[in-house]
Amino acid sequence: MAYDSNNIFARILRGEAPCHRVYEDTATLAFLDVMPQSDGHTLVLPKAAAENLFELDDEAAAAVMRTGKRVALALREAFRPDGLTVMQFNGADAGQTVFHFHLHLVPRYAGQPLRSHGRGMADGALLAEQAARLRTLLGS
């Protein structure tokens, strides 16, 4: 399937749609998931167009993991979770709903099951406050 340059993450990357930005560098962007499965649920994207892992070039793969680690450390400091789950889906049959490669960084809290995937919008003001806190920790 050809990359759809109008997918929502491509539009966010072009600045045509808003996001709660957490971190950005020349190769990657990280922002809060608007339907978080737990508090602090963050998405990390390469800026280069790639629908999924199969299409991701090595340079973008390395950049995304570098940013993922950096953001994970900030999430640990900001939210004090008991653990962190990293998820990544390839293809609709694997659960992918937005067709621009992304890592999910999902903080985990003891005794708290994950909320449903991609359902239930979070409060915008709360996300804005959380993103600001993470940007401060990341110097971003």
What residues contact residue 60 under an 8 Å CB cut-off, 6+ apart? Answer: 27, 46, 48, 50, 101
> What is the end-to-end Cα distance of the chain in Å, rounded?
34
Whose Cβ is closer to ligand AMP: residue 89's or residue 109's? 89
Q: Which stretch binds ligand AMP (CB under 6 A): 60-68, 92-100, 107-115, 131-139?
A: 92-100
Active site (annotated) includes residue 102: yes
Interaction between residue 114 and ligand AMP (CB under 6 A): no
Kindly indicate which of the ranges 44-52, 67-75, 91-99, 130-138 contains the residues binding ligand AMP, using the contact rule CB under 6 A: 91-99
27: contact with ligand AMP by CB under 6 A = no
Closest CA to 1 of 62, 68, 49: 49
* Count of positions on this chain that bind ligand AMP (CB under 6 A): 13
Strand partners, 103: 44
d(CA 28, CA 45): 6
Instruction: Tell whether residue 109 is a contact of ligand AMP (CB under 6 A).
Output: no
Question: DSSP letter at 95?
Answer: T
Which of 89, 122, 133, 140 touches ligand AMP (CB under 6 A)? Answer: 89
Distance of CA 16 to the CA centre of its chain: 18
Q: Which residues bind ligand AMP (CB under 6 A)?
A: 8, 19, 33-35, 43, 89, 95-98, 117-118
Catalytic residue IDs: 102
